[in-house]
Amino acid sequence: MSSLWIKGARVIDPAAKRDEVGDLFVRDGKFVASLPADVKRRAMKIDARGLVACPGLVDIHVHFREPGQTHKETIGTGSRAAAAGGFTTVVCMPNTSPVADNAGTIQLIKDVVTRDAVIRVYPTGCITVGMKGQTLAPIGSLKRAGVVAITDDGDCVQSNDLMRRAVEYARMFDLPVMDHCQDHSMTQGAVMNEGVMSTRLGLRGWPHAAEDLIVARNVILSEYTGAHIHLQHISSKFSVDVIRRAKQRGARISAEATPHHIALTDDALATYDTNFKMNPPLRTEDDRRALIDGLRDGTLDIIATDHAPHTDYEKDKEFDFAPNGILGLETALAVTLEVLVRQNKFKLPYVIDLMTRRPAELIKLPGGTLAASQEADICVFDPDEKWRYDAKAGFSKSSNSPWSGQTLTGRVKTTVVAGRVVFDQGKIVGKPL
């Protein structure tokens, strides 16, 4: 049996309210309270003095582009980027080519995960056939095929009645519904936040009301049906207020914020750099502050990256025509630590909770804990190390990151999945699971 001994780390396990300098022990892929003396001598040892050891990070919103868009990313390259960022579990969105609206495509994705992924990768299925918002996908079949949620992310179901039926069926199958909140009638041709900066740049604006309306719709449907609806990449301060009041009433609503929406505003688009173009768009400083406040008081439940790779030649176009989306996995921890811990004085265990236990529990996934007998998924990082991020030298197949070339603080040193080291000191060292 393989064994691992992580020595002298600041061990943070929000699930157990543990925050102390100590050791972690792993045997045969699972956490144990200790190792026998003879096993300790043979164990792989990691000197983690001065470092933090926490549960492996969990991201329930990534785009790995396989099948059909492997020029942007593959499950193999995406999982390596995730491991480099300290993530041991991710949930993939279904807007692939073809979209994941049937059991056959889900099985294909699972087969590729088994063959190529170095971390845990879980699929989602579509809400509607073809992600066209017209006919419900076979939700029961998707559940049996192994999806952990349904979503038309990258799109949004516009029909309120169809969305009602979707969440009713999803509740029957105990599946969360994840929704990209956007009223299409208000965003035709929009490429950035509607406001002073869009007027100055002469670009079509995406009003926050287009998000707010669908957030409110989903709150109503959740309260009406009792279904769990998860609101993806919230960006508007009004939406935060709607969610806060809904939770006070007991609605089964959860919501996420991204590292880029809590770190950046639409002022970043002043040079028309398409690496700052995303959906929903970067908004104002007031919106950014509201997201941080929402994370602080629990209105927003988790951090998720919305990792969205695109090739250089796709992004290197006029702003109106470049696709939305940025990379997020390799920089998420550093950016989140900077904004929440250093700038806004969040406690480190609370921030780790936003990226480990909470997302795992939302989607009912294993992980998010260092408890004995659980699968040994671990992220070891230096919260104070400064490093220069070069997206072209990263592990993703694409390089569309607004942080490329910048110096970040907080670096992942080692990532462990099921007791096996898969990333260490800047290199992928693990084979596919």
Closest alpha carbon to 287 in 251, 334, 233, 323: 233
Task: Give the 3-state secondary structure of residue 207.
Answer: coil
Closest alpha carbon to 60 in 95, 87, 81: 87
pTM listed for this prediction: 0.97
Same domain assignment for residues 74 and 132: yes
User: Among residues 212, 266, 306, 377, which one is catalytic?
Assistant: 306
- Rounded Cα gap, residues 382 and 57, in angstroms: 14
What's residue 432's pLDDT? 74
DSSP-assigned beta bridge partners for residue 225: none
What's residue 431's pLDDT? 77
Same domain assignment for residues 192 and 290: yes
Buried b (16+ CB within 10 A) or exposed e, 350-387: ebbbbbbbbbbbbbebebbbbeeebbbbbbbbbbeeee
Strands, sheet with 253-257, edge to edge from the N-terminal-most edge strand: 150-151, 177-179, 229-231, 253-257, 302-303
| Phi, psi dihedral angles at 377 (to 5 degrees) | -105, 120
What's residue 291's pLDDT? 98
- Rounded Cα gap, residues 401 and 143, in angstroms: 34
Cis peptide leading into 207, omega within 30 of 0? no
- Asked, for residue 401, whether it belongs to a domain, the answer is no
Same domain assignment for residues 84 and 47: no
What's 422's domain CATH number?
A: 2.30.40.10
Closest alpha carbon to 430 in 395, 383, 390: 395
Sequence-distant (6+) residues with CB within 8 A of 296 are 344, 346
CB distance 337 to 89 below 8 Å: no
- Asked, for residue 395, whether it belongs to a domain, the answer is no
Same domain assignment for residues 16 and 143: no
Q: Is beta strand 192-193 parallel, antiparallel or unpaired with respect to 205-206?
A: parallel
Buried b (16+ CB within 10 A) or exposed e, 115-144: ebbbbbbbbbbbbbeebebeebbbbebbbe
**pLDDT tens-place values along the chain, 433 residues long:** 589 999 999 999 999 999 999 999 999 999 999 999 999 999 999 999 999 999 999 999 999 999 999 999 999 999 999 999 999 999 999 999 999 999 999 999 999 999 999 999 999 999 999 999 999 999 999 999 999 999 999 899 999 999 999 999 999 999 999 999 999 999 999 999 999 999 999 999 999 999 999 999 999 999 999 999 999 999 999 999 999 999 999 999 999 999 999 999 999 999 999 999 999 999 999 999 999 999 999 999 999 999 999 999 999 999 999 999 999 999 999 999 999 999 999 999 999 999 999 999 999 999 999 999 999 999 999 999 999 999 999 999 999 999 999 999 999 999 999 999 999 999 999 777 6
What's residue 1's pLDDT? 56
- Asked, for residue 146, whether it belongs to a domain, the answer is yes
What's 248's domain CATH number?
A: 3.20.20.140
Answer yes or no: 101 catalytic: no
Sequence-distant (6+) residues with CB within 8 A of 58 are 87, 88, 89, 90, 355, 356, 359, 360, 365, 367, 368
At 414, which amino acid appears?
A: T
Same domain assignment for residues 74 and 94: yes
User: What is the gyration radius of the CA atoms in the chain, in angstroms?
Assistant: 21
For tokens 């041991």, name the residue.
88
Closest alpha carbon to 14 in 431, 420, 288, 368: 368
Same domain assignment for residues 149 and 193: yes
Same domain assignment for residues 72 and 40: no
Same domain assignment for residues 22 and 86: no
Question: How many structural domains does the chain have?
Answer: 2
Task: Give the 3-state secondary structure of residue 15.
Answer: helix
DSSP 8-state class, residue 399? -
Maximum Cα–Cα distance across the chain: 70
What's residue 269's pLDDT? 97
- Rounded Cα gap, residues 343 and 8, in angstroms: 27
CB distance 417 to 83 below 8 Å: yes
Give me the domain span that covers residue 413.
Answer: 3-53+374-389+407-428
- Rounded Cα gap, residues 385 and 341, in angstroms: 14
Same domain assignment for residues 196 and 330: yes
- Rounded Cα gap, residues 305 and 256, in angstroms: 9
- Asked, for residue 394, whether it belongs to a domain, the answer is no
